[in-house]
Each structure stands twice: as structure tokens, then as C-alpha cells.
Amino acid sequence: MDIAPYIDHTLLKPVMTLEDCKNLCDEAATYGFAAVCLPPPLVKNAKAMLKQSTVKVATVIGFPFGYSAAKAKVFEVQQAIEDGADELDMVINLVALKNKAWSYLEGEAKHIIEAAHKNDRVLKVIIESGVLTNEEIIHCCELYGNMGVDFLKTSTGYAEKGASVEAVQLMREHLPASVKIKASGGIRTAQFAKQLIGAGADRLGCSASVAIVKEEEGAEGY
């Protein structure tokens, strides 16, 4: 199985340098990853570095905690698009979710979806599945699935629990077929990556991307 096209090669540390950015982009181009995912200030740099490549540039919105104001997130989206981002990974307001403020979450998503889709950008909505109940995950699937997001994404990688096979299966069961799933957080082996893909993940957010691909190549005798 060729795992590389499923992977968003990710580095989101707050002290990321231009050298880190170049290494990330070079590795993504070399291995054929779907995208790089990196901090907003480096989007322009990554876009320039990958201009001869098919690798997409993704960045994060409202990251990592999601509780910034909806208007601030819309501005972040607009700035990321202006800088050249192809894909946007937006963290929902988990404070609103835990307080059952679903109408707030709907309004937040509406404006962000509009800002992304009118510019033909891909929007991935991060729900932080590891800190949600199954009922909350299902409610997110129904809300964001009906609103037409491109991906529902499990995790930021900053919570105490990241992606799980069970969460991906639950999401796939309750999302429209048109909405894809991105699993992220704690994906460090080819075996786990393949389990998540088998459960229904269309994309994987990984910082251990190169090690995962090399592990898979070794297992297949390349």
C-alpha cells in the first residue's frame, strides 16, 4: 500500500524556522505527500518552495485550542488564502461545544466555509475527537456534514488523546459520503496509519511521515 499520498506532512512547532520549512517541503516533494501543514507565517515561503511540485500547502486556523473569536478565524482564513494556502485546518470552538452552544458553532462554521469555498480552498474542520463523547462526535458529524465541509478532522495533536480507529469509524458512519476524514495526532507507525485508512480516513496528519513511509517500504521489501 502506498501511504504517502494520504499524508499531510506536518510541522506546527511555534519556533519553526525557515530551514525547518525547507526540509518539510523538500521531504514532501521527494516522497509525494499530499500536502505540507505548517504555521500561517510560513505559508508564503512554503508556496514558493513547492511551486514546481503538486504538493499542496495547508495551514491552521484558530490553532490549537479553537476558542479565538469567529471573526478572528475568518480573518485568519482570508490572510492564509492571500498568502497562498490551498487547504485550511480550522479548530472548532470546543468551549462552545462543551456548553452545547451548537448555534454558535453553526454560525462560526458558516462564515468560515463561505470564506474558504468562495476562493476554492479546501476546509478541514478539527473537532478534537479524543476529548469528545461519542454523542458529541456524532453531533459534529451531523452539523458539519450537513454544512458541506470538505473534511472532518479528528485532532490537533495537542490534546491528551489523538486519532483513534474507533473515532474514525464513528465519523465515517455518520458523515455524508461527500465529506472526507482526516485523522491526526499520534500517528507514528505504518501499521496504525493503515488501520486508520482502513477505518475510513482519506488523509493523515503526521509529523513522523518519512519514518512511516520508510517503515512501509521496508515491510514490502523495497
Residue 204, classed as helix, strand or coil, is strand
How big, in percent rounded to 5, are the helix, strand and coil portions of the chain? 50, 15, 35
Q: Which of 56, 73, 124, 182 does the annotation list as catalytic?
A: 182
Does 180 qualify as catalytic in the annotation?
Answer: no
Q: Is 123 within 8 Å of 113 (Cβ atoms)?
A: yes
Largest Cα span, the chain: 52
Q: Which of 89, 124, 180, 194 does the annotation list as catalytic?
A: 89
The secondary structure of residue 61, as a DSSP letter, is E
Q: Is 145 within 8 Å of 152 (Cβ atoms)?
A: yes
Which is nearest to 156 in space by CA: 209, 205, 84, 220? 205
Q: Which of 56, 73, 124, 153 does the annotation list as catalytic?
A: 153
What are the beta bridge partners of residue 36?
9, 57
Does 182 qualify as catalytic in the annotation?
Answer: yes
Which is nearest to 150 in space by CA: 71, 101, 90? 90
Does 153 qualify as catalytic in the annotation?
Answer: yes
Catalytic residues: 89, 153, 182
